[in-house]
Chains A and B, each alone.
Chain A
């Protein structure tokens, strides 16, 4: 008998696992899964969007979509300001700095030295630096084709001004980011600026888009602006003004041409001006829109309003005459003079010969409040409402403060200051049968009758008739006459104030304001040439020819036919003699005040 069989080997008996152990394992596994599920719930449902956004921020890029700034057109649809697509090159300095071997090629294509490229890279931030802004797209493509890691391109728009300097002070300009900072570009910045778009997606190391995420926010282009300006007339006004400023070696000039009935400004020029397409040679003085910013004592061009105020309150009658036969009409401590001595002058002759003494006598008969209200209603001493930056209101002191000397001086345009635009708009009221229409620079689709009556139609008609004599033979505005057309207007020559209560010895403003055709006025224009130093320095000599050239072009451009009778007599009338030329002169009396 095998003892072993008798006593089978002892098999170690494992004690039965306790029941809690399996339960514990299951519980642990279940708990672990439950924890995972909870975390998964939290990550994907509860905080899902937040985490997705956080992730996206780390690998997605926002690509700005360039917005097109609205164009500016003249009244015939000719462009005055355009935005053209260009490219801007930028780099991520941290990546680009590792590509030194390619820098010479990039610098050569940009037309700069490697040192300059290095400066531009270092001038930027840690992840962004412009190396070339707003360059020709073809040139930019050539550089990006080098496939330099860390070098990227952006689409932008650059502003161009096809009219150049002739409209520059009026149109203004934008900065490199496309925001208007001067002129109409600034005044209508909100209208012209669109809303920038943006799209989000992935880009490779060369900046090329790989995929987009979600719909793009499309850019909304800016709205176009159609001005009342006529580019051709703007050109004619600018060149004739520039010619006068150069010929008489004046300091500056400004002119405004308006439609008398609608108030639309057809031309607004300043000289000297600047080239808005190249502002590297910055001179702040050239950026002024002198037609609205420069104020001056207007001189004799104010006489028609003195007469209108006196006629309206019946201080004088239309057939009144004034004895001006004196070398010195003394008012308080001032001596008022005329440059040519006359005997008795009626109202037409006071204007025709620009008699300071006659105008002062009229003003002294008129209650100052009436003259003040006439000037105020004609737009003096207040903004024109164009909304252009830098516009001056001029000054028109309250009538309560006028002493007798000022009352006399106001009659012939001293003691107040105006802008060329205010003069044009005020004369527009005379041309428009006594109704003042506020000037506008925006093309009016349906110019209807509107405005404020500032004088009776009969008074406006009389003034028009008398002002026509100013441009006739013997009148001070003879050089403003246009063959074939009747022209009404007034010359002005005023000594420039020195800001210390006195006047500069030899510095004058020469002015001409007028309208045509006098029988049915359509256009009104004001011309101011500041500080001529050569030749006959009078409004009738310096400013009137600018009016004639521009107005003639404007009348032809608008299809206003000349009067054949006036055309035939015009040739002989224009043969001015030396003595007639002398009559154009005026302002000696002004100088003595």
Chain B
């Protein structure tokens, strides 16, 4: 067998292995991309829920109710306001 034929066969083998490796790499990268997208969606979802939760917890109606009913707070009357002069 000619030497050139052997070299050619080896090159073909290397190329085939390269193609298989590239395919495998693409698959693993695609799986990683899918996982990252799923994580992105989950984090986005969590972020939105947290923003909503914060907005709900900080709503004026809720804070007002807690201040009045649980903490017994009320707005000061005129004679209870003391003006402090800035030095």
Contact = CB atoms under 8 A, between A and B. Distances in A.
Chains A and B are bound partners: yes
Interface of A: 68, 78-79, 82-85, 137, 155, 160, 162-164, 209, 211-212, 231-232, 235-236, 483-484, 561-562, 564, 567, 570-571
A562 B83 contact: yes
B55 A162 contact: yes
B60 A211 contact: no
A73 to B, nearest CB: 11
A64 B41 CA distance: 14
B56 interface: yes
Contacts of B42: 137
Contacts of B59: 162-164
Contacts of B79: 571
Taking residues whose C-beta sits less than 8 angstroms from the other chain, chain B's interface range is 20 to 34
Given A211-B30, A562-B83, A85 B45 contact: yes
B9 to A, nearest CB: 26
Q: Which of B26, B41, B45 has the most A CB atoms < 10 Å from its CB?
A: B45
B34 interface: yes
A162 B60 CA distance: 11
Contacts of A82: 48, 51-52, 55
Given A137-B45, A484-B81, A571-B79, 16 more contacts: A82-B52, A84-B52, A85-B44, A137-B41, A155-B41, A160-B52, A162-B52, A211-B26, A212-B30, A212-B33, A231-B60, A232-B60, A484-B78, A561-B83, A564-B83, A567-B81
Given A232-B60, A567-B81, A571-B79, A79 B51 contact: yes
Q: Which of B49, B58, B78, B81 has the most A CB atoms < 10 Å from its CB?
A: B78
A83 B48 contact: yes
Contacts of B7: none
Q: Which of B27, B33, B44 has the most A CB atoms < 10 Å from its CB?
A: B44
Contacts of A236: 60
Nearest to A571: B78
A542 B45 CA distance: 45
A231 B61 CA distance: 12
A84 B83 CA distance: 46
Contacts of A155: 41
What are the 6 closest A-B residue pairs judged by CB atoms, nearest first? A162-B55, A84-B48, A235-B60, A85-B45, A564-B83, A483-B78
A562 B49 contact: no
Interface string B51-80: 110011011110000000000000000110
Nearest to A166: B60
Contacts of B56: 162
A236 B41 CA distance: 36
Contacts of A79: 51, 55
A561 B84 CA distance: 10
Contact of A562 (B27, B41, B48, B81): B81
Nearest to B53: A162
19 contacts: A68-B44, A78-B58, A79-B51, A83-B48, A84-B48, A84-B49, A85-B41, A85-B44, A85-B45, A85-B48, A137-B45, A160-B48, A163-B59, A236-B60, A484-B78, A484-B81, A562-B81, A567-B83, A571-B78
B39 to A, nearest CB: 12
Contacts of B49: 84
Interface in B11-42: 26-27, 30, 33-34, 41-42
